[in-house]
Amino acid sequence: MHQDATGNASDIAVGWAIGVGAPFAFCTTLESEYKSDIYGERCCILGGVHGAVESLFRRYTRQGMSDEEAFKQSVECITGPLTKIISRDGMIGVYNQFNDADKKVFEEAYAATFRPAMDICYEIYEDVACGNEIKSVVAAVERFDKFPMGKIDQTHMWKVGKEVRANRVESEIPINPFTAGVYIAVMMATVQTLSDKGHPYSEICNESIIEAVDSLNPYMHARGVAFMVDNCSYTARLGSRKWAPRFDYILDQQAYVAVDNGTAMNSAEDVNAFKSHPVHKALAACAEMRPPVVRCPDCRCVSSERALFACLPVCPFACLPVCLFACFCVSHSLARSLAHSRRACSFVPQDISVGVDGDDTGIGAGAARVEYYS
């Protein structure tokens, strides 16, 4: 809320949040929201993760891995098991599940990555805060008639990924401690910058962690990086394209060089700060407020059971908030909506599946949390 002229703005905001199925709502201001939102999508939510996986894939192939294995150890590792662990147990949960040897690999990768990633995150935040980033978006859109956005999934790496997804066995996706250290360092750099700039932890968790693992990463897991990035706004798509190469470059030029030179642990204090960081408790508090998710067996839309059942007693269009939230069922006819609302009680507990290439299965908030039931 930016102002509260009537005195009941909080009630109205919370009512809308419940109506559209938001797992929880937190106080913010328009200024704080636009800064954290535009910043976050350029960091670990979109641009940062894209740059990280590109650099990791090249590193692993240089080390002798096959293209397929390198894709599994980089992209699949992040969008599969790491995403699920972070969604359920937080970033610290990833670290805690490693054995001692893997913890050392994680720590080295984290220590080497955190400071270079912070360098980019600070630059992004300050460009957003002063208006430069939005100016660049406006200028880019004005050039679209001459230079439209190109595709970002046509390189060899992402073609390999399509084959990997076609043969994927979820239970066999590896958890690579080096990949985990790099990815979580980028995520923590996103978090720390927001904290340094005065944002509350409820907003920090949402704009740097929850949106990544519970919303965007499942898109990349389903059909690749373009499906994740290009389902977003022009602002996000342009920002991801602009900053992903910066993350890629700085990881290759600084982080991995430090690892190879044996100097990564010169920044061991960053690892200790990660282990005791207050964001872990904040994220755990957010997770406790999160309701189960449900999936409609008819149209396969996804939402929280709160959105579905809150409107049942008063609204004849019971599936409308769910369908609006899922963003792909709005075109249903009135008759279909009415019939669907009559069958609302037939929702059954089941895993939230995520479609692969060529599949029309819905993907949305909650898709990563396959262990949650209605």
196-247: per-residue pLDDT in tens?
999 999 999 999 999 999 889 999 999 999 999 999 999 999 999 999 999 9
CA distance 292 to 78: 23
Confidence at residue 253, expressed as pLDDT on a 0 to 100 scale: 97
Judge contact between 279 and 201, C-beta under 8 A.
yes
Ranges of residues in the chain with a pLDDT under 70 are 23, 290-374
**Closest Cα partner for 133 from 206, 198, 42?**
42
> pLDDT tens-digit profile of 41-94?
999 999 999 999 999 999 999 999 999 999 999 999 999 999 999 999 999 999
pLDDT value at position 30? 86
User: What pLDDT score does 22 carry?
Assistant: 76
CA nearest neighbour of 209 among 284, 159, 104, 271: 284
pLDDT of residue 355: 55
In angstroms, rounded to a whole number, what is the distance separating the alpha carbons of residues 185 and 136? 27
The CA distance from 199 to 32, in Å, is 7
Query: In the prediction, which pLDDT does 356 show?
Result: 59
What would the two tokens of residue 235 be? Answer: 């602002």
Q: How many CA atoms lie within 13 A of 373 on its CB side?
A: 4
- Residue 358 has a pLDDT of 62
**Per-residue confidence (pLDDT) for residue 61, from 0 to 100:** 98
Contact indicator for 165, 223 with CB cutoff of 8 Å: yes
Question: Is 353 buried (19+), middle (13-18) or exposed (0-12) by CB count in 10 A?
Answer: middle
Q: What is the pLDDT of residue 189?
A: 98
DSSP state of 290: P
Does the global pTM surpass 0.85? no
Q: Report whether 173 contacts 68 (CB < 8 A).
A: no
Dihedral angle sign, alpha carbons of residues 100, 104, 107, 113:
negative
Coil, helix or strand at residue 192 = helix
Q: What pLDDT score does 10 carry?
A: 86
Residue closest to 93 by CA, chosen among 104, 102, 101, 84? 84
